[in-house]
Amino acid sequence: MNHSSSVPAQRARPHDLLFIGVAQPFITGSPLPEWADRHWLNWAPAVVRRAAPTNPGHIPVGLRGRTRSQRFAAWVHESEVTALITPESLAHARSWQQYRYWMGFTAIRALHTLAPRLEGRAWGITGSVGFSLASGIRVLTQASDLDLLIRQPEPMSRDEARAILRRTEDLPCRCDIQIETPTGAFSLLEWARDTPRILVKNEHGPRLTTSPWARSCEGETP
């Protein structure tokens, strides 16, 4: 796993998990919610979110609690980050094998089944499963989806997307896979369909495009 005493803002990518260690450094526009107390933030990582850069060295993050409703957007300076864990490092280390007592959860069983089928791809674990594996704090439940990302710098055909989806059909829970490109992220399921325009999300917000790997507005339609 990746560890650093100072994490440059340009290195922290969406879905990376940042350990801060103390509660004070978060920059917010309003007070932290009650659930985001010192005890929780001393152990729970912040998740890098998509947002346009503002001040140099500031990383946009999302704080999460134990429930889906407990979410809070903030910023943190890169100098306050004590460790960084990427979704890919969780997959590469087969981190779920360290928590065999979690195998009763459908998302963990699905991950155990799917991992060998993604061999050879740059993929990672996100969402509640990734947060739980990175921190040891179990926020996943029996209703949790399995959220993954696949790094795909080069275009992927729709047939290839459909082939990946077929590998998820027998899983015991819903599997949501995001395709991460240099210009943004979009749903594998949406790309596998014959939808002409794809919703791509980046730090400037969502956009509809016919060319999700395009580096500009090329392929966008009104």
Question: SS3 of 101, please?
Answer: helix
Work out the average pLDDT over 187-193.
96
Is 145 a residue of the active site? yes
For the stretch 136-173, pLDDT in tens is 999 999 999 999 999 999 999 999 999 999 999 999 99
Spatial contact of 213 and 201, defined as CB atoms under 8 Å apart: no
Gyration radius of the chain over CA positions? 18
Distances, alpha carbon 193 to alpha carbons 23, 25, 161, 206, 212, in Å:
43, 43, 9, 19, 14
Q: At what angle do helices 106-114 and 127-135 cross, to 10 degrees?
A: 90
Among candidate residues 9, 104, 1, 5, the one with its CA nearest the CA of residue 48: 9
Q: What is the mean pLDDT of the chain?
A: 90
Q: What is the pLDDT of residues 95-115, one digit of tens each?
A: 999 998 999 999 999 999 999
**Residue 215 phi, psi dihedral angles, 5° rounding:** -90, 0
| 147 assigned to active site | yes
> Distance between CA 60 and CA 13 in Å, rounded?
10
Task: Please give the backbone phi and psi of residue 62, each rounded to the nearest 5 degrees, phi first.
Answer: -115, 130
Residue given tokens 């004590």 in the structure block: 82
Q: Give me the count of residues in the chain.
A: 222
Of 145, 159, 170, 194, catalytic: 145
In the set 37, 147, 159, 170, the catalytic residue is 147
pLDDT band at 9 (very low <50, low <70, confident <90, very high): low
pLDDT per position as a tens digit, 42-72: 889 999 999 987 888 999 999 999 998 999 9
Cα 127 to Cα 54, 105, 139, distances in angstroms = 25, 15, 10
Query: DSSP label at 80?
Result: G
